[in-house]
A and B are shown apart, each in its own frame.
Chain A
Amino acid sequence: MTNQNGRFGIHGGQYIPETLMNAVIELEEAYNHFKDDPAFNEELTALLNDYAGRPSRLYFAKKMTEDLGGAKIYLKREDLNHTGAHKINNVLGQALLAKKMGKTRLIAETGAGQHGVATATAAALLNMECVVFMGEEDTIRQALNVYRMRLLGAEVIPVKSGTATLKDAVSEAMREWTSRIADTHYCLGSVMGPHPFPTIVRDFQAVISREIRAQILEKEGKLPDAVIACVGGGSNAIGTFYHFIEDKSVRLIGCEAAGRGIDTFETAATVNTGKVGIFHGMKSYFCQDEYGQIAPVYSISAGLDYPGIGPEHAHLHDIGRAEYVPVTDEEAVEAFEYLSRTEGIIPAIESAHAVAYAEKIAPDMGKDQIIVITISGRGDKDCAAIARYRGEDIHD
């Protein structure tokens, strides 16, 4: 869906300092060369299968289906991947690409820490240096992941500027990239930033819908009626949607983090509360004030706590192909507890946003209809924070 200038409708583009232009042009050329290179793809597939544990399972959630009494619910188990989330799909692709480009150092931003952990993992595996930028606020919310990254040999730099969350980590990683380009690849974690990142990350995450499609056809002999995923920048969502975009019968539903509600200022629901703007290298929807100052956003989920959304999602929204719905902290926490209790699967609080929306719509759907929810990650990292939310201190 990308056109020549990295546009998705009016969205996307390359709004970055001149200092980075040759770097993104070089990246695009390298990607265009390697994406169809059989040896590269063979190497990547081997890593995804033997190291990351793909293909991930498509699990029929029988108890949840019976309990909700409507559509059949399947869970795409990205939480079972090595490192515990979908992030590894993109990271292995980018790290391998960077290695082929002769880069020896990976830098990354991280919110919940899942992308940082995945990047640190790939760097360890491929003998690369790794520096991860993480909002100071998030290093506190996700202390376990900070430890994991350090254990894997990465340097974690707490970012104190701005709101000390994901957007500030992205800004700081971009600043770092402008100061050291020759040996460094910026391993961006979502379908955002300047072209070609939204396309590269989407292509590496599209494995999710490629597998769902084959798996559901094998199990049910037909396509799902809806696929649901949570959306921050939107990488697991675009991965979940991509191979269904042309199948108009499949509803594509992205669940945004509404925080304390879209009628409050404590929200991160970009499509529902933002407007078109230019930030972090792309044109897309952003939460911002009337003068274009980026709004401090909020969600219980550090991974969805971002004031923008990837440009391809912005375009899918504009053309009415995908729906973007708000899910509050409270709804997500309830879904976190619900899936744990009902299916014995503790989802990441990010993924719980998708589970919450499925709980809303499944009862009104027919028993012959099918919903696939992508469980983008596992929830171990969130247990302490959710306990805190429920007024319990478990001293993590």
Chain B
Amino acid sequence: MTRIASAFEKKKAFIAFLTCGDPDLATTAACVRAAVENGAALIELGIPFSDPTAEGPVIQGANLRALTGGVTTDKIFDMVRELRKDVSVPMVFMTYANVVFSYGAERFFGACKEIGMDGVILPDLPYEEKEEFLSVAHKYGVDLISLIAPTSENRIAMIAKEAEGFLYIVSSLGVTGTRSEIKTDLKSIVEVVRQNTDIPCAIGFGISTPEQAAKMAEISDGAIVGSAIVKIIEKYGSEAAPHVGEYVREMTAGLNGYKF
């Protein structure tokens, strides 16, 4: 069983997203550890990009703060190398195709393997373009995570059949950011996914409360939360780790149906 699959094995997976280097890499590392200690099953690490076209204002702000602080892909690799000494949950990168392309796919995925990253999510790399990176990712045993959107319709089966690691189901139209209500018929999307693959699927975009997480857990294998965590980091800066930990604990409990 891969490390990613094991994250979904016993319970619903809470997936925490953080933008690396927001406001600095020491804070990112502390927040990752706090999230893991409080039940995060999988960590999604954003490598900042100058023009994150799939992000709403909250994560755009995190990207800007991180880049202004001088973070680079190489410095992020160094941070992960350190984290891997004591963090054993699966971790995936989330970034944009140009960050990987400009680094060189061979070098990038080679580094992922070396530092212990399990997968890569590229929101601007749809099914039609994935071949370019897929063979290199496979060479180094790194999963290229696919996304399914509310508009995917006739494409769901095609994407699910070839998906690896876990499937990222985008809950709503638009960009990342918290939403008070998720209206997409996610149940029918997950049904089609289940008919076409055995890999786990997690729902992301717009989730911020334990109640929302519990709803998502009813129909899928996990929930991905980004903007809500980034907001905490924006508020508390380098003191954010305990607050992130506390939030992850509440969300993990909500996800698995505990009262708190």
Contacts and interface: CB of A to CB of B under 8 A. Distances in A.
Contact of B102 (A174, A178, A277): A277
B102 A14 contact: no
B153 A174 contact: no
B235 to A, nearest CB: 20
A21 B53 contact: no
Contacts of B103: 291-292
A279 interface: yes
Interface in A278-307: 278-281, 283, 286, 288, 290-294
Given A15-B124, A161-B60, A278-B124, A22 B53 contact: no
Interface string B125-152: 1111100000000000000001111111
A175 interface: yes
Contact of B53 (A174, A179, A276): A174
Contacts of A180: 173-174
Interface string A175-214: 1001111000000000000000000000000000000000
Contacts of B73: 291
Interface residues of B, number: 41
B204 to A, nearest CB: 12
Interface string A1-38: 00001000000011111111111000000000000000
A178 B124 contact: no
Contact of B124 (A162, A167, A281): A281
Contacts of B127: 18, 21
A17 B51 contact: no
A18 B56 CA distance: 16
A18 B148 CA distance: 6
Contacts of A283: 101
Given A16-B124, A181-B173, A290-B102, A21 B49 contact: no
Contact of A17 (B56, B98, B124): B124
A172 to B, nearest CB: 9
A8 to B, nearest CB: 15
Determine chain A's interface SS by DSSP, over half rule. Answer: mixed
A171 interface: yes
B135 to A, nearest CB: 16
B49 to A, nearest CB: 7
B152 to A, nearest CB: 6
Contacts of B153: 22
A292 to B, nearest CB: 3
B98 A171 contact: no
Contacts of A279: 51, 98
A382 interface: no
B98 A178 contact: no
A282 B128 CA distance: 13
A178 B100 CA distance: 23
Contacts of A175: 53-54, 56, 174-175
Contacts of B187: none
A168 interface: yes
Contacts of A13: 128-129
A294 B56 CA distance: 18
B126 A278 contact: no
A363 to B, nearest CB: 41
Contacts of B155: 18, 21-22
B99 interface: yes
A200 B102 CA distance: 28
A5 B147 CA distance: 20
A15 B99 CA distance: 13
A291 B20 CA distance: 15
B149 A17 contact: yes
Given A161-B60, A179-B175, 17 more contacts: A5-B128, A14-B128, A15-B129, A17-B123, A21-B155, A22-B153, A162-B51, A167-B51, A174-B53, A175-B174, A277-B98, A278-B98, A280-B51, A286-B98, A290-B102, A291-B73, A291-B103
* Closest CB pairs A-B (n = 9): A292-B102, A179-B174, A19-B149, A293-B50, A278-B97, A292-B98, A18-B149, A294-B50, A278-B98
14 contacts: A14-B128, A18-B149, A18-B155, A22-B151, A171-B53, A175-B54, A178-B173, A180-B174, A277-B102, A278-B97, A291-B102, A292-B100, A294-B51, A294-B98
